[in-house]
């Protein structure tokens, strides 16, 4: 967090990281959450991934190619850099990415020594399917394994929120009601002399 308060609320500018499975509503919630702050910025990991206009390798599934894995790491790395830069300038930033499994450890390493708010959206799987059908897509069929990865193999840090019965705006309300009590995470510092991204 920055020592410089953001306008309108009296709170310090803050870094949020919003995670969840494919179709959990991360992007919509993250954008709406950022809009609750003045100033506020939404940092979309998908947008950063789309900056690779040649040779892009999107995640293919649980068994990824080396290139896809490196680009997945790189987009989170850049999202953290950008988020920290916004916060240092007094702008609250909301990073939106799928941070699950071992990626939680990567996140903590990238934000070593920083205090931030982590939110994991965990709507029920049948709700995710309904939302996808409502959008005319069926991405959940390809990415359903992410839900199990979250619930069974992801380190529990920050605020885990079941947003199944909430609208996007209500989800933001719930995040803001609990963020500073249940969502705060302080990433362990690196040993003295350790490399800093």
DSSP, residue by residue, 30-63: HHHHHHTSBSEEEEEHHHHHTT--SS-----SSS
Nearest residue to 114 via CA among 86, 156, 73, 74: 86
Quick one: pLDDT at residue 86? 98
Are 41 and 92 spatial neighbours (Cβ–Cβ below 8 Å)? yes
| Cα separation, 44 vs 33, whole angstroms | 13
Query: Per-residue confidence at 129, pLDDT binned at 50, 70, 90?
Result: confident
pLDDT-derived band at 61 (thresholds 50, 70, 90) equals low
CATH topology of domain 15-186: Rossmann fold (3.40.50)
Domain segments of the chain as ranges: 15-186
Task: Kindly state the helix (H) or strand (E) to which residue 134 belongs, with its residue range.
Answer: helix 125-135
User: Among residues 183, 123, 171, which one has the least CA distance to residue 147?
Assistant: 123
In terms of average pLDDT, the best of 58-62, 114-118, 149-153 is 114-118
Binned at pLDDT 50, 70 and 90, residue 187 comes out as: very high
Q: What is the model's pLDDT at position 127?
A: 87
């Amino acid at each position: 967090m920055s020592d410089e308060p953001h306008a309108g609320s009296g709170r310090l500018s803050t870094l949020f990281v919003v995670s969840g499975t494919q179709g959990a509503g991360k992007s919509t919630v993250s954008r709406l959450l950022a809009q609750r702050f003045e100033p506020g910025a939404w940092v979309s990991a998908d947008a950063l991934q789309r900056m690779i206009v040649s040779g892009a390798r999107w995640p293919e599934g649980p068994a990824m190619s080396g290139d896809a894995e490196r680009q997945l790491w790189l987009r989170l790395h850049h999202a953290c850099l950008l988020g920290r830069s916004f916060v240092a300038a007094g702008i609250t930033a909301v990073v939106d990415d799928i941070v699950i499994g071992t990626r939680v450890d990567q996140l903590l390493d990238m934000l070593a020594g920083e205090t931030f708010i982590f939110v994991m959206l965990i709507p029920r799987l049948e709700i995710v399917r309904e939302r996808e059908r409502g959008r005319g897509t069926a991405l959940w069929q390809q990415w359903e394994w992410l839900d199990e990865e979250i619930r069974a193999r992801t380190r529990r840090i920050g605020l885990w929120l079941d947003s199944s019965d909430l609208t996007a705006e209500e989800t933001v309300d719930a995040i803001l009601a609990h963020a500073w009590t249940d969502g705060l995470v302080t990433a362990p510092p690196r040993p003295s002399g350790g490399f800093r991204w």
